[in-house]
Amino acid sequence: MCRDLARMAALAVAAVFAGWIGWSGNLLLLPASCAFALIWSQAPNRMAVLIVSAAYFLTASRGLPLGVQRFYSTDVWPGLILWLLASVSFVLVHLAVWSRRSAWRPLGFLVAMVLMAIPPFGITGWAHPLTASGVLFPGWGWWGLVAMTAGLMGLATRMGPAVAVALTGFWLWSAAIWTDPQLPAAWRGVDLEMGASLGRDATLKRQRDLIATVHETASQSASVIVLPESALGFWTPTLGSFWKESLHGRGVTVIAGAAALDPGGYDNVLLMIDGDGSNILYRERMPVPVSMWRPWGPLFGERGGARAHFFANPVVELGGRRIAPLICYEQLLVWPVLQSMLTGANVIVAVGNGWWTAGSSIVDVQRANLAAWASLFGIPLVISFNT
C-alpha cells in the first residue's frame, strides 16, 4: 500500500511539472506537456489516473481563478469553482479510456486526444499536448501532426522512455534552429495597453485615438492593420460611417474586433474596414464559455449571450490570402485552427483582449500556441492583443 501511495505521489508531482513547465507561456517549453502521456500510462490504477489527470490539467490552467476574479471583480471563489468544473471533462475522459491492460493504453490515449480536440469535450480542451507539434516538427504540416500523434501514443507504451529520448532529440534540434513565424508583407498587428476600457469606452475620443494609431501604423508601410478583439466595441452604422470617412483615400484595410448585436444576442466578430465601407469578416466559432457563451440561458429566461458558430467560417479571404481567424479563447483549443488548416488557410490572424489575465501566463500561452501552429504549417502569423 505504501509503495502504491509513493508511486502515485511521484506521478502526481511529475504531472504538476509537465503542466507547469509545458504551459508556462514559453514557446520552446511546450513539448514538456508531452510527458503527460508517459505519466498517464504509468498510473497503476484508476485513482492514480484521476490524480495525475487533475494535477496536470489544473496546473496547466492555473491562471483561470485569478483571471475570473479580475474579470468579474469578485472574490476568488467563483474562479476556483469554475477552474475545478473546467477540469471535469479532461479528467473523466482520461479516466474512461485508461485500461488495466497496458497494451490497450496507447489506443486509449489516442481516443482521449481525439475527444479533447473536438466538441463537446474539446470546448474545454485546453493544454492539449498536440499543440507542441509545431515545436517538435516545424514545417512538417499534417505529417508533423501525424508524427506527434504517433509519438504521444508511443509514450503510452512500454517503450515510452525510449520514445521520450527520441522526442527529446527532435526538441533539441528544433530549439537549435528555431525561427519565429513571419508577418505577411505589409501586414501589421497592433498591440494595445488600454486595459478593461477597450471595447467599453464608447466615446468619440477613443475612436479617434484608435484611428490615429491606424494612421501611424500605416505610415510604416502597412496596408493591412489588425486591431485587438473588442477594439471597436458595439458596432453601429454610425460608427461604420465614421471609420469609412477616416480611411477614405488612405489605401489601408483594417481588421478589428467588435460586437455585432441583434435582439437575440450578439456575435463576437472581426470587421473588415476600408475607405469603401465595412463588413463582418468573421463570426467567432467558440466564445468563452460562461462569461460569453451560455447555451443554458434560454432555459432560465436569459437572453443576450454570445452565439457560438462552432464549425462556421473557418477561413475568410482578404487581399488574396486565405485567413484562419482566431479570437481569444479559440487560441487555447485544437479544433478551430485545424479546421481552418483543413480548409486551406495560408495565414493565421489572431486577436485577443487579455486585460483580465494580468498576473497570469494566459496571454503568453495563447501567443505560444499560435506560434506553434503557424510554425507547424509554415505559414505567416499576425497577432494583436490588448492588455
Domain definitions of the chain by residue range:
2-177, 187-386
Question: What's the CA gap between 317 and 345, in Å, rounded?
Answer: 9
Question: In the sheet where 187-189 sits, what is the strand order?
Answer: 187-189, 224-226, 253-262, 265-274, 277-283
Are residues 58 and 66 in contact, defined by beta-carbon separation less than 8 angstroms?
no
277: Cα separation from own chain's centroid:
30
pLDDT at 299: 74
Are residues 12 and 51 in contact, defined by beta-carbon separation less than 8 angstroms?
yes
Give the H/E segment covering residue 279: strand 277-283
pLDDT at 1: 60
Nearest to 374, CA basis, from 189, 183, 205, 207: 183
Instruction: Supply the angle between the helices 77-97 and 105-115 in degrees, to the nearest 10.
Output: 140
Are residues 384 and 359 in contact, defined by beta-carbon separation less than 8 angstroms?
no
111: Cα separation from own chain's centroid:
21
pLDDT at 64: 85
Instruction: Quote the pTM value.
Output: 0.95
pLDDT at 73: 65
SS3 of residue 269 by DSSP: strand
Question: What's the CA gap between 69 and 72, in Å, rounded?
Answer: 6
Query: What type of residue sits at position 122?
Result: G
- Angle formed at CA 180 by CA 281 and CA 329, multiple of 5 degrees: 40
Instruction: Supply the angle between the helices 77-97 and 64-72 in degrees, to the nearest 10.
Output: 140
Are residues 346 and 316 in contact, defined by beta-carbon separation less than 8 angstroms?
no
Nearest to 227, CA basis, from 205, 198, 250: 198
Q: Please compute Rg for the chain using Cα positions.
A: 22
Sign of torsion, CA 209 210 215 219? positive
What is the grid cell recorded at 121? 469535450
Give burial (CB, 10 Å; 0-12/13-18/19+) of 291.
middle
- Give 187-252 as a DSSP string: EEEPPB--GGGTTT---HHHHHHHHHHHHHHHTTT-SEEE--TTTT-B--HHHHHHHHHHHTTS--
Give per-residue pLDDT as tens, 320-361: 899 999 999 999 999 999 999 999 999 999 999 999 888 888
Give the chain's largest Cα–Cα span.
77
Write the CATH number of the domain with boundaries 187-386: 3.60.110.10
Question: What's the CA gap between 165 and 168, in Å, rounded?
Answer: 5
pLDDT at 72: 67
- In order along its 387 residues, the chain shows pLDDT tens digits of 677 788 889 999 999 999 999 999 999 999 999 999 999 999 999 999 999 999 999 999 998 888 777 776 667 777 788 888 889 999 999 999 999 999 999 999 999 999 999 999 999 999 999 999 999 999 999 999 999 999 999 999 999 999 999 999 999 999 999 999 999 999 999 999 999 999 999 899 999 999 999 999 999 999 999 999 999 999 999 999 999 999 999 999 999 999 999 888 899 999 999 999 999 999 999 999 888 888 887 777 777 789 999 999 999 999 889 999 999 999 999 999 999 999 999 999 999 999 988 888 899 999 999 999 999 999 999 999 999
